């Protein structure tokens, strides 16, 4: 409240932001009092052990889950209660842990339909899809049925589909899960290029520490539905709470 009004307005205009958000399922808190801000063209890593509330947070940010408490603002507009399609139309795209491709459509159609949904013509969406598929390394797979793709290609197609509607913010839910080291490197190259090539900010949920640490500008660590640390990767890495909460849980698994 102490901030000058003009500064607050500028800050609020250009960001995907939640403040003091809690989500309760049958009285149980999946996330409690979490605030997170994703500014244009930055890469923020969201980490935490399984069940920390990361995916719930993504659901809140994309309109799939209405927060029980707290606010959601998208470039200054109050986006609480918007439908997923509306949030998507306003520039927030996401990928899914489970892939969730349109599995009976072919690769090109999967990407193309996202462009169409964002208002492009069929031909325009097709051109865009071709470009994006080339960038993620699926240029040779246009005619393949999405459901028949190998797992890692499905992940890449999921990202391509999200990119096809030219999002301003893209939320990647464990994109590197199940990938080999070399596939990871390739994926990291793609993610690293997103702000520059596509002009979008990235919220990266990832268990692979190497991936998160080397890509993120900032880290946000959740545990038990609460924010335990926020900061630069190198700061967070040294933090005791991070080591015990996150890595401890990983080791224990």
Nearer to other proteins, 102 or 237 (CB): 102
Task: Single out the residue of 226, 95, 225, 245 nearest to residue 169, CA to CA.
Answer: 95
Nearer to other proteins, 92 or 228 (CB): 92
CB of 9 vs other proteins, minimal distance in Å: 27
CB of 150 vs other proteins, minimal distance in Å: 18
CB of 32 vs other proteins, minimal distance in Å: 25
Nearer to other proteins, 15 or 108 (CB): 108
CA distance 96 to 189: 20
Nearer to other proteins, 115 or 225 (CB): 115
CB of 232 vs other proteins, minimal distance in Å: 30
Would you state the structure tokens that stand for residue 106, as one six-digit string?
Answer: 């072919």
Nearer to other proteins, 112 or 208 (CB): 112
Q: Scanning the structure block, which residue is given the tokens 């990928």? A: 95
DSSP string covering the chain = --S-HHHHHHHHHT-EEEEEEEEEETTEEEEEEEEEEE-TT-EEEEE--TTSSHHHHHHHHTTSS--SEEEEEETTEE-TT--HHHHHHTTEEE--TT----TTSBHHHHHHHHHHHTT--HHHHHHHHHHHHHHTT-GGGTTSBGGGS-HHHHHHHHHHHHHTT--SEEEEESTTTT--HHHHHHHHHHHHHIIIII--EEEEE-S-HHHHHHH-SEEEEEETTEEEEEE-HHHHHH-HHHIIIIIHHHHH-
CB of 193 vs other proteins, minimal distance in Å: 22
Nearer to other proteins, 102 or 233 (CB): 102
CB of 187 vs other proteins, minimal distance in Å: 20
- Which positions touch other proteins (CB under 8 A)? 62, 64, 83-85, 88-89, 93-94, 96, 100-105, 109-110, 112-114, 116-118, 121-122, 125, 161-162, 165
CB of 112 vs other proteins, minimal distance in Å: 7
Asked if residues 196 and 210 have their Cβ atoms less than 8 Å apart, the reply is no
Nearer to other proteins, 30 or 163 (CB): 163
């Amino acid at each position: 409240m102490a901030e000058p009004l003009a500064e607050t307005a500028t800050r609020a205009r250009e960001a995907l932001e939640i403040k003091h958000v809690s989500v309760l399922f049958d009285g149980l808190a999946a996330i409690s009092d979490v605030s997170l801000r994703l500014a244009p063209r930055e890469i923020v890593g969201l980490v935490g052990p399984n069940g920390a509330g990361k995916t719930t947070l993504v659901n809140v940010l994309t309109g799939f889950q209405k927060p029980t408490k707290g606010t959601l603002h998208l470039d200054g507009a109050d986006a609480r209660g918007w439908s997923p399609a509306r949030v998507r139309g306003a520039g927030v795209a996401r990928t899914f842990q489970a892939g969730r491709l349109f599995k009976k459509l072919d690769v090109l159609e999967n990407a193309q339909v996202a462009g169409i949904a964002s208002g492009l013509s069929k031909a325009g969406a097709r051109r865009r899809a071709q470009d994006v598929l080339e960038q993620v390394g699926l240029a040779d797979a246009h005619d393949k049925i999405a459901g028949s793709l190998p797992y890692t290609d499905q992940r890449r197609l999921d990202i391509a589909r999200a990119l096809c509607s030219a999002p301003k913010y893209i939320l990647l839910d464990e994109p590197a899960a199940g990938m080999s080291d070399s596939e990871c490197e390739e994926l990291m190259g793609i993610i690293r290029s997103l702000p520059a090539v596509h002009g979008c900010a990235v919220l990266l949920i990832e268990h692979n520490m190497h991936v998160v640490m080397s890509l993120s500008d900032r880290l946000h660590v959740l545990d038990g539905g609460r924010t335990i640390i926020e900061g630069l990767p190198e700061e967070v890495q040294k933090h005791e709470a991070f080591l015990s909460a996150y890595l401890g849980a990983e080791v224990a698994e």
